[in-house]
Amino acid sequence: MKKLLAAATIFGMLASMSSTFAAGAIAVAEPNDVARDGYSSGISYNFKTDAEAEDRALRECQNSQDAPPATRQLCKLIRTFRDQCVAVSLDPQAGTPGAGWAIADTLAGARREATQRCEDTAGRDRQGECRVTAEGCDGRAK
- Tens place of pLDDT for every residue, the chain, 142 residues? 444 333 333 333 334 344 567 899 999 999 999 999 999 999 999 999 999 999 999 999 999 998 999 999 999 999 999 999 999 999 999 899 999 999 999 999 999 999 999 999 999 999 999 999 999 999 888 8
Domain count across the chain: 1
How does strand 85-90 pair with strand 131-137?
A: antiparallel
142 in a domain, yes or no? no
50 in a domain, yes or no? yes
Quote the pLDDT of residue 8.
Answer: 35
**Long-range contacts from 108-112, C-beta under 8 angstroms, 24+ separation:** 109/85, 110/84, 110/85, 110/86, 110/135, 111/87, 111/135
pTM passes above 0.85: no
**Interatomic CA distance for residues 138 and 106, integer angstroms:** 10
77 in a domain, yes or no? yes
The secondary structure element, H or E, covering residue 12 is: helix 2-20
9 in a domain, yes or no? no
Mean pLDDT taken over the chain: 88
The share of the chain scoring above pLDDT 90, in percent, equals: 79
Inter-residue contact 19 to 140 (CB < 8 Å)? yes
Task: Quote the DSSP letter at residue 64.
Answer: -
2 in a domain, yes or no? no
8 in a domain, yes or no? no
106 in a domain, yes or no? yes
Q: How many CB atoms lie within 10 A of CB 1?
A: 5
Q: Which domain holds residue 127?
A: 21-137
Quote the pLDDT of residue 19.
Answer: 52
**Interatomic CA distance for residues 99 and 55, integer angstroms:** 22
10 in a domain, yes or no? no
Quote the pLDDT of residue 74.
Answer: 97
